[in-house]
A and B are shown apart, each in its own frame.
Chain A
Amino acid sequence: MNPTSVSAVEWPPAAGPVQRAGLYAWVSTVDHKRIGILYLLTALVFFAVAGLLALVMRLQLAQPNNHLISPEAYNQLFTMHGTTMVFLVGMPMLVGFGNYLVPLMIGARDMAFPRLNALGYWLFLLGGLLLYFSFLAGGAPAAGWFSYAPLSEAPYSPGSGVDYWITALLILGAGSIAGAVNLVATVLALRAPGMTLRKLPLFVWMSLVTALLIIFALPALNASIIMLLIDRQLAASFFRATEGGSSLLWQHFFWAFGHPEVYILALPAFGMISEVIPVFSRKPIFGYEFVAGSGVVIGLLSFAVWAHHMFTVGMGHPAETFFGLASMLIAVPTGVKIFNWIATMWGGTIRFTTAMLFAIAFILQFTIGGLSGITFTTVPADWQTTDSYYVVAHFHYVLIGGTLFGTYAGLYYWFPKMSGRMLSERLGRWHFWLSVISFNLTFSVQHVLGLMGMPRRVYTYPDLPYWGSLNLISTAGAVLSAVAVLVLLWNVVASLRRGRLAGDNPWEAWTLEWAATSPPAEHNFERVPPVRSRRPLWDLMHPEAPDPEIRSPGRQDNLPLERNVVGMWCFILTEATFFLMLIAAYVYYDLFVVGGPDESHVLDRKLTVIFTVCLLSSSATLYAAERSLRRGWRGGFQAWLALTVVLGAVFLLGQGHEYWDLLHRGVDVNSSLFATSFYTLTGFHGLHVLVGLLALSVLFWIAWRGEVRPEREEAVRSLSLYWHFVDVVWIFVFGTIYVVGPAL
């Protein structure tokens, strides 16, 4: 992002592509604002669907011994409700806001990779539809949103529901990772001049941390569901204890993703609140550094505490004690944020708009959810409350009182920017009070039910004292919640048609998005205002009393990063995490499982060493090719590139030979856990080599036609980064399987 590269870039023709109208314009769009709105609308539809599923569940639970729906249907409902709310509502809702707002807030014209952005949305839609198609294909998944093994294994979930669940989640995961890579590249490479990292609006900060969490956490999920898919489709036994596998490993892998996921859902809402509260308190945020920094700390901590979801599986007292203590620590950075928000309001001129009301409700309700969360870190208390309605109450306070109320605050705050019209404040107040009352009615009593011993995920319950009446209260609250959502929908539709016109900056806010028109033009800004402090529009409106300038210490605030390289690095990090999980699984089965063919008997190490040398030297030849390109020596570039392709192909042939040999000797995918994990790990690596090889071949073809010029070097550089990465992964894979493995 250095100024020279900005000025060196050629401006595209002003009009851009031909303006299309109507539905086709939406389907074919690569504009971050339209994609953002598509995300939000689709998430809203899924929100309504998942809400209806919950309503049916609540009606079934309204009285004891009820038979409105069957137990099988009930299992499908809670599985679909959870999966939908997490993957099809929570994440896309926040991605949608991020997509719409982040480029505007940092003064960029669009996301770093607009087409990838569109791909992310369509993958999301495809994944969502596929998940719901399972209803037509013989029954939805019914193993809960975390699909615990062995319940989710073929013998216990024989239908195709779990397969749909896996496929949908893989597609959704790919879409989320694409979105996260894009967001990181946008924030790191496309900021307007002056918008240094330390001046980023807090919503952008939290979105950045969230994107990094997605990059590191989603591959854990992808690795585990791929292993589950291999179990189900190829009759392997990664997670089947009866066949020597480990159901416990599924829980470790799933929660290594699942716990960061909680913060993926919470952090963007933190960011929204941090934008809304200062504007409606007419004060700058109190302790910007602490709000941003504690977000980073929460992100890092979230990877170290996943085992607190597993206090009842028998990990042993030492592990439980350590993870209980570590989990308590999360309360510290979260508490820091709460105090910052309160201190921001303190002494401010508070305007109680609907957005602000929801932000205040967020603080109160999220704190309640956080406090009940801390009770779980006391291990013996967790033993009593786990899998009871107390847990249900806890995470709904976090996800509705926290994430959803935060998102509502964001919606009322940014709706005028997106649509050009204000949402009705009168209806907004109805919506607010109905939401708060109904939400607390539904879930506060569930704390009590849980402590009285009512387990979650039961389709009905016996007529024990108070259970019936408390459940009835909860159901009444759920019905009222549906009314609240209807009020919101009515408000949105009515305001879109005849709401008050908003103007550019209806709230007198201070961040860059309010400098654009409402709704913003396709290219966002004619000119971006100068950014010298964290409140550029305040400085513009109050030249007599501007904020103190935030100077840039050193170059790190403003690294000259190139988006292709940032994007490739993010992709490499996420892939590296994926391979890390597979290698961990390999080592795990190597250590714990005996029986069946194992590596010391069946693998031919010498032959593999030869192929390894080929693959590793291909990194050197590719480096030589890059050097030739930099020096403008076209022939050398082509020759080195061709050699790279040949060496990569030799490696793949070698791997093919090894597979052929093993299969002939009767070592099948499901012969033993060694065989399954061997084929999984080397197979995925081989797939990556193949993809790299195809890309290199395309590059060679382009070079052959003489179309690779030294100016296009960074495209070649990102591809060679990928190739080097694949080689480095092989060093680890080779070391694990052929060197360390036999010794363990």
Chain B
Amino acid sequence: MKKTAQDFEAFIAPYLEEAPPLQGLDTRIADLEIDSLSFLEMIQAIDDEYGITVNLDQITDDHTLRQLYERFVQ
């Protein structure tokens, strides 16, 4: 399974395509221009793709997508 940051960024891109994050993986979750339903879909897809369960008690929307990647996927 491909687990590089670039792969992760490519994997989540379809969920963010309506408003691509300007700073890529360094965009804060709070700054993503998606609603919480779309974010839910993205998290569920990450869980399925990487065989993990993102522990949502360990992140806030102040974290960046990169921190989400480093903490749970890498």
A and B form one complex: no
